[in-house]
Structure 1
Amino acid sequence: MTTPVAPGVSQLRIQRFVNVYFVETDRPGAWVLVDTGLPGSEKSIIAAADQLFYKGTHPEAILLTHGHLDHLGAAKALAAHWKVPIVAHPLELPYLTGRAQYPPRDPTVGGSLAFMSRFFPSQLPNLEDAVQALNTDDPTPPYLPGWRWLHVPGHAPGQLAFFRDEDRTLLGGDAFATCDHDSIPSVLLGTPKISRAGTPFNYDWTAARQSVQQLADLVPAAIGCGHGPVITGPEAAAGLRQLAADYPVPAHGRYVTAPARTDASGVEFLPPAPPDPLPRQAALLGVGLLAAGAAWLLTGGRRAGRQRRPSGGRRG
């Protein structure tokens, strides 16, 4: 089931975790898809599009806010099914075409998302034959007159947000979130709260803060982000303004004091990774479990031997 964001803009929540957006253009029946959710989401997206528009409909194009796996997951399958192009910022192309990998996630910043990020896959689908570079000389996104795109890095090098001035509708990607993105339970519950984007994936905290400040200056009246529910009315602008004024940078983490640097080819510089205590803790836990298991086997074996000896004596 889709949720309206603003006239002609609908949100679809995928697996209670990530959002995609259906955005109508200025032509009747024409629309674009913004982001594609997790891998395997194509059936849900196609079914929602058929219900929202008409059976067999297809978008003019797929626009990606950025190329993290939970945003491009179904892009290749959908582009092949609908025979439409995928469009992304040029700075995302190295990662979308397999020529580079994003700055490594930082599991040391703390929180449940950071803990779980250790186990997220790093390999991305290769979109080389399907993706096109956004024309950065044109402020209007392709197929979306009346909208403009904004470059909002910090979470991904070529991350985009989309804004419609007429009614101040903002699709913010992962420049920020409309839930507590650092808490997996909050994301799954969809509790509304304008907050920073998921901390383990932010590679440049200064750029992330500046991106939020740039979007807050738009004074949006309706907000849809990559994660969290739709927020409309005065709470939208007020919440974003508050986040911009008091942007929380973690106390520690790989990119807190020095950002990763990227260019058109990919990652240019990475600060050293801080020690991650989990592998050592897991190793110690594993050794402890092995020792406990060995002790159980030894003591269990002795008990079994003591229990068998009397019965053997009686038979003799």
Structure 2
Amino acid sequence: MNTVAAGVTQLRIQRFVNVYFVETGTPGEWVLVDTGVPGSAKTIIAAADQLFYPGSHPEAILLTHGHLDHLGAAIALADHWRVPIVVHPLELPYLTRQAQYPPRDPTVGGSLAFMSRFFPAQLPNLGTRVQALNPADPAAPYLPGWRWLHVPGHAPGQLAFFREADRTLLGADAFATCHHDSIPAVLLNRPQISRAGTPFNYDWQAAQQSVQTLADLEPEAIGCGHGPVITGPAAAAGLRALADNYPVPAHGRYVHEPARTDANGVAHLPPAPKDKLPQQAAVIGASILVAGVAWFLTGGRRRKTTRVSTKRRPVPAPHNRRGVGD
């Protein structure tokens, strides 16, 4: 576990995604922000027992958004602790299976985009466990002194949380504190403020504006959904640099036209570009098959020829020749 700021602790789950324990200011009371990937419940419960006291439970679970690496253990934890799950209203249709998020875009490039082809698309149904925060009240639920900010572009109802008193920011996946387009960089946890979730960003203009909004806060401590804690001057400077030079991909489904969403889910999707990987994989597979058949046939003939050419001929039995005078 790593300290972000006073009363804010980061727990890294499976070297990939972060969750946060945030104290409310009342002794023994705290809130969990995000729940990691599926199967993370025992790890999070054990960390909470260690950080606070055995049997400790939060006042609520706040989800920055509903992608599977953030809500993975939400049902298990909410049922174990008997606490509500709070989200932005625009996330509700996706978390109650009334709608699906805009499809990921594996054509934008990078190792994360490649891997995204194999991520499950179906999300668990949170049912009555989930409730919406009040969009008219900027105060973060259950967290005095904190406010939430709506930062779409990666998920329609994505939330960031900011504490003005010490300028602490939990940035969700509006950006990352590691090179998020590279799976090896994420696993190595090298600090680098960068764009986040490239194959999952459905509106690049909104994503850029969200980073601009957060950079204007000039945070002094940052924790995101992916990557290490960054504090001090590097936090604000790195975020400002990203906002001023936000790298929109050269190509991709949502680069020139975003998906449009509303309170019911996805309202419009731009056409999907042709994904060349399946075709390339088929060509490679066919080439391997042809090469294998050719090897088998030529190898078989070669073995047969070798057997014929090395067969030993019978050697005549020796006999004595008698001379005329014997």
- TM bracket (short chain): over 0.9
Q: 1:99 aligns to what SS in structure 2? A: coil
Q: 2:162 aligns to what SS in structure 1? A: strand
CA distance in 1, matches of 2:313, 2:63: 79
Residue 276 of structure 2 corresponds to residue 272 of structure 1: no
Q: Which whole-Å deviations, capped at 9, do the CAs of 1:178-207 have from their partners, x for residues lacking one? A: 111111111111111111112111100000
Report deviation, 1:305: 3.1
What are structure 2's unaligned runs of at least 5 residues? Answer: 315-326
CA distance in 2, matches of 1:237, 1:310: 78
Q: 1:114 aligns to what SS in structure 2? A: helix
Residue 145 of structure 2 corresponds to residue 146 of structure 1: yes
Superposition CA RMSD, Å = 1.4
Instruction: Please say which structure displays the higher CA radius of gyration.
Output: 2
Structure 1 residues 127 and 314: CA distance shift in structure 2, 3 A? farther
Q: Structure 2-normalised TM-score?
A: 0.93
Report deviation, 1:314: 6.5
Aligned to 1:95: 94
| Aligned-partner residue type, residue 246 of structure 1 | N
Report deviation, 1:124: 1.1
Q: 1:129 aligns to what SS in structure 2? A: helix
Report deviation, 1:96: 0.8
Q: Which whole-Å deviations, capped at 9, do the CAs of 1:157-176 have from their partners, x for residues lacking one? A: 00000001111110000000
| Aligned-partner residue type, residue 134 of structure 1 | L
Aligned to 1:124: 123
CA distance in 2, matches of 1:74, 1:308: 63
Residue 211 of structure 2 corresponds to residue 208 of structure 1: no
Report deviation, 1:130: 1.3
| Aligned-partner residue type, residue 120 of structure 2 | P
Number of residue pairs the alignment of both structures matches? 314
Aligned to 1:182: 181
Q: Which whole-Å deviations, capped at 9, do the CAs of 1:43-76 have from their partners, x for residues lacking one? A: 1111111100011111111100000010000111
1:30-41 equivalences in 2 (<5 Å):
30-41=29-40
Aligned to 1:80: 79
Aligned to 2:224: 225
Q: Structure 1-normalised TM-score?
A: 0.96
Report deviation, 1:311: 7.8
1:109-120 equivalences in 2 (<5 Å):
109-120=108-119
Q: 1:177 aligns to what SS in structure 2? A: coil
Aligned to 1:21: 20
Deviates more, 1:136-145 or 1:206-215: 136-145
Deviates more, 1:129-138 or 1:90-99: 129-138
- Determine what percentage of the aligned residue pairs are the same residue: 78
